[in-house]
Each structure stands twice: as C-alpha cells, then as structure tokens.
Amino acid sequence: MSRKIMIFDTTLRDGEQVPGAKLNAEQKLELARQLAKLKVDVIEAGFPASSPGDLEAVGRVAREIKGPIITGLARTVQEDIDDLWESLKHAERPRIHLVLGTSDIHVEKKLRRDREKVLEMGVEAVKYAKKYCPEVEYSTEDASRSDFDYMARTLEAVIDAGATVVNVPDTVGYAIPEQYGEMVRRVKESVPNIDRALLSVHCHNDLGMATANTLAAIKNGVDQVELTMNGIGERAGNCSLEEVVMALHTRKDYYDAHTDIDISQIYHTSRLVSSLMGIPVQPNKAIVGSNAFAHSSGIHQDGILKDRSTYEIIRPEDVGVQSHEMILTARSGRAAVRHRLGELGYDLANEVFEKVFIRFLEVADRKKEVVDEDLESLVREEISSVPDIFSLETYQTVSGINITPQSAVGMRRDGDVITDAAVGNGPVDAVFNCIERISGVSAKLVSYDLKAVTQGKDALGEATVHVEVDGKLLTGQASSTDVIEASARAFIKAINKALAGV
C-alpha cells in the first residue's frame, strides 16, 4: 500500500524570513486559511519569541485554523518555549517545535559549548516542552554536516525524553541526494527507538538540490517533509511544496508514496503567497510559473494539439491553472471581471474588488486587452490590508540629456491634495524625493525592480520596491502602463506601510 507522507508547511515561518516579506497578523491568517484548504498536515505559523507581533499572529492562527496541526519554532530555552505555548495553547492540534544544532560548527562556533552540554540542553528542553504539550518536534540543526554517531545519539536521547517527531535538516543546502538518502536510511536503522517518533527532513536550496534531497529522503523512508510554497525562504530558499507533491503524484510508480494535498489548490496558493509577500514567481518555475504550461515551439504545439501527453506530464487543470482564456477589454463590465477573477482563484471582498475594477478600467483604457497576468498584477497591488494613508493624485516629470530631472507630485491625504517638487538623478528618483518630502518619511531604497507583465509596447509595467525605514524592510508593489506611475504607486505603498507601523 502507498505510504502517506506528512506535509509540514513552513511558509509562514521560514518563508517569511526573506527580507521584506514580513506579514502582518491578518495576512498570516489569510494565508493559513488557504494552507488549510490546501490540506497541509502541519502549519508552522511563526517564531513567537522573535517579536510581540509574531506571538500575536501565531496565536490568531492557532485559535482560528482547524484541521492541520499548528506549530511554531522555539530555541531550547524556557523563555522561548513559554512564549510558543502561550501562542499555541488554544490550538485544536498544537505541536511545539524545538531546534538546536548538532554539527561541530554549530556546537563549537555558534553555541560555544561541547557536545555533551548541547545534548543535555536538548533533552531538558524536550522534557520542559512536554509539560505543556504531548506533541513535540526536535530538529537537529545542520544535521547534514553533523557527526552521524553524535546526531544519532541525540535523536535517541530526545525521543526517550518525549519527542514525537525528530527532524534531520539540511540547514545550509550542503547535502547531495545520494548521501542524504543514505543518512536517512542509517537513522532508520541505527536509532533503536526511532519507531517511537516520526522522522522528518527540512532541506534548503543553496546548491539547487532541495527537491532532489527531499525526494531521496522519501525514497529512504522519511515520514514528514518540511516545505514552503514557491520554495521561498532564507538565502536560496527552501524545498518547494508544489515540486515534491507533484513529483509524488506524477511518479507514484517510483516513490509508492502519497500526500493528502488538494492539488487543485496549488496554483492559487502559490499566487496568494506571491501577492502577500511581494515576491514574484519566476516565469520558468516548475508547476506554478507562468510558463510552466506554455508551449511556443511549433513542434511542441503540433504535438499538444494531437495529444496533450506528448509534451505535458501534468494537466494544468489539476493544479488549478485554467487552460482557457477570457478576453477582457474596456467594454467588459464588473460581472465579466469578477467571473475571470473567480476562475483565477480570487474571491475578493467587495471593497477590494471595486479598487481592482477601477484600476482595471484605467489599464483597459490604455491597452487593447487585459490578460490574466495584468489582472493578477492589479490584484497583487490592491490585496494589501494596509490603509491608503497617502495616494497618488498627479505627477509630472521633466527629464532629458543635459537636463536636471525634475518632478512635481500631488498626493491625497484625508481629502486634501498636497503638492511638492524635487530634482533627482533621474525621473523616478525625482518622484521618490517628492514623495518623501510630502509624506515626511525618509526611506532608503534597498532594491527596485521593474518588469513587463506581458509582451508588447502597451504592456503593463509592474514595479516592486524594497525600502528601509528606521531599520525596517518594507515592500511596495504596483502596476501601470506608465512605469513612472507604477514606481510612484509602489513607493507610496511602502511609505504607507511605514506610517501604519506594519
């Protein structure tokens, strides 16, 4: 019989550690609801000891989300465990997740202790956590670079202390699939009490092998895999949920394993993560990229028309990608736009939909047709729950060779339009300087990205800015056929986040 693999989703914790991807409590809750619809087994909702805001956010997820196990991360210190339990205590199915390194690099360089002291810390932390919660997971951080015998001894000790799940993560993406699979097999064979706990893996993508390592671990008997949507996470990211799930779904013949994931929810979950975190999905991303089911070659197109299986091993409909297309123009009404949004997986509140529709009409007046990518870009722009403290009313720029770029900007606040003018290194810089002067917020531009959402001269331009305000990284995203307008709107959204304290 096919083996069930538990899916532990850490998008809200490890995924949120991407600079500028911070979610507020309401956004975390919205994403957690979607993860429950996706039918993940475990949701890691955050790291409560890291901030009061995260403690509150994890608490809201724990209280309101039913079905999946809800967990959060804690170091092996009592204060962290206390904070975590304070967040989790109202969960329908809580789990405490502890982490402590076992590699000599971590033991000696980071923790500045010896192996025996670190092992003792781990055992005592598990015993302390068990006073609160019957289900405790213990992660041997940097397992792939650890001395195997010491790591195995640690696993045995923490299971004896009460750990119900043990995790052997490839924390820095160092592992090679064959070696990592062998390590999992040895754990199953060498740890005498491993049958009393679930065995889990958590792989990072520093060498681009996170999915391969995770699948190697599954082939060698692991029970749970820890993943993020779109593979987001620190540095090069984590193992992608959609890749592992669809590999098991497509290659049942090889892995003889399955998950309980509702694969029809994959695409919408991916887009929601991208929208809320302001992190675009690369076009060629497996399963969820905009080109994942696109065929441009004439040979491929001919094959697809004769039999889809010639060049498609996954049906796009299975993961929630619609294969047909509705042409939207300035003559399309609210019903048509709402219908297409529904097909794309968006069920927007009326007030959010009205904002999207107004922006749709503005774009449709400038373009012959508005395609799905344009519509999704407009949703990404408006889906944020941050209030519009300032909004762009007007702007004008003068720029050219041997001319100092100048901009005049009008911004609305509380019914009043405030105007100012400034110069800059270019028209966008001048506009940003105006926005700072009007808002009174000094924002250091960390990164600025501008891309065409579709092809053609009338393509919608999507601007993404990451700014630093008082040491805090904030993201703004907006779109328009006018790239300076898109840049200005994106910068204002980041400023609004700063003013709202998000």
- DSSP per residue over 392-457, as a string? EEEEEEEEETTEEEEEEEEEEETTEEEEEEEE-SSHHHHHHHHHHHHHT---EEEEEEEEESSSST
Best CA proximity match to 110, nearest among 123, 101, 119: 101
Q: Which pLDDT score is estimated for 226?
A: 98
Work out how many domains the chain is built from and give that number.
3
Residue 44 and residue 163 in one domain: yes
- Angle (CA) 361 364 366, round 5°: 120
Average predicted confidence (pLDDT) for the chain: 91
pLDDT at 299: 57
Residue 379 confidence (pLDDT) above 90 = no
- Is the domain of 186 the same as that of 106? yes
Task: Tell me if 453 is assigned to some domain.
Answer: yes
Residue 325 — very low, low, confident or very high, per pLDDT cuts 50/70/90?
very low
Which structural domain, as residue segments, surrounds residue 136?
A: 3-277
Name the DSSP letter for residue 239: -
pLDDT value of position 324: 43
In 174-291, where do the E strands start and end? Answer: 198-202, 224-227, 257-258
Are 450 and 472 a contacting pair, CB within 8 Å?
no
Q: Are residues 413 and 430 in the same domain?
A: yes
The predicted structure's pLDDT at residue 294: 60
Let me know if residue 288 belongs to a domain: no
For 26-66, the pLDDT digits (tens) are 999 999 999 999 999 999 999 999 999 999 999 999 999 99
In the predicted model, what is the mean pLDDT of residues 418-445? Answer: 95
Quick one: 253 and 167 in the same domain? yes
Does residue 395 lie in a domain region?
Answer: yes
Residue 141 in domain:
yes
Question: Of the candidates 382, 404, 427, which is a domain's last residue?
Answer: 382
Amino acid, res. 190: S
**Residue 155, domain member (yes or no):** yes
Comparing 78-87, 174-183, 188-197, 361-370, which segment has the lowest mean pLDDT?
361-370
**Within a domain: residue 284?**
no
Encoding tokens for residue 396? 């004008």
What does the alpha-carbon distance between residue 237 and residue 255 come to, in Å, rounded to a whole number? 24
CATH number for 350 = 1.10.238
Task: List, for residues 141-188, the tens digit of each pLDDT value.
Answer: 999 999 999 999 999 999 999 999 999 999 999 999 999 999 999 999
Residue 256: partners with Cβ closer than 8 Å, 6 or more residues away: 2, 3
71 vs 80: CA distance, rounded Å:
13
CA 38/CA 12 separation, integer angstroms: 14
Q: Do both 419 and 372 map to the same domain?
A: no
Answer whether 76's CB lies under 8 Å from 101's CB. Answer: no
- Residue 298: pLDDT band by 50, 70, 90 thresholds? very low
CA angle centred on 162, ends 158 and 167, rounded to 5°:
50
Which range among 169-183, 289-303, 386-400, 475-489 shows the weakest confidence by mean pLDDT? 289-303
> Three-class SS of residue 275?
helix
Domain boundary among 348, 382, 416: 382
Give the pLDDT of residue 98.
Answer: 98
User: How crowded is residue 21: how many other Cβ atoms within 10 Å of its Cβ?
Assistant: 19
pLDDT band at 327 (very low <50, low <70, confident <90, very high): low
On whether residue 283 sits in a domain, the answer given is: no
Above 60 in pLDDT, residue 484? yes
Q: What is the mean pLDDT of residues 268-272?
A: 95
Note the pLDDT of residue 302.
57
Q: Which helix (H) or strand (E) holds 331?
A: none
Same domain for 395 and 324, yes or no, is no
Nearest to 370 by CA among 268, 302, 496, 459: 459
For the segment 296-308, the average pLDDT, to the nearest whole number, is 58
CB 111 within 8 A of CB 102: no
464 in the same domain as 413: yes
Residues 225 and 305 in one domain: no
In this structure, of 49-63, 349-363, 413-427, the range with the lowest mean pLDDT score is 349-363
Tell me: do 255 and 302 sit in the same domain.
no
| Residue 333: inside a domain | yes
One domain for residues 303 and 173: no
Do 123 and 192 share a domain, yes or no? yes
CATH number for the domain harbouring residue 159: 3.20.20.70
- Asked if residue 295 has pLDDT above 70, the reply is no
48: three-class secondary structure by DSSP:
helix
The CATH number that applies at residue 430 is 3.30.160.270
Residue where one domain finishes, among candidates 382, 399, 419 = 382
Interatomic CA distance for residues 403 and 408, integer angstroms: 15
Same domain, 398 and 330: no
Between residues 103 and 384, which one has the greater pLDDT?
A: 103
Q: Which residue, 188, 76, 78, 79, is CA-closest to 137?
A: 76
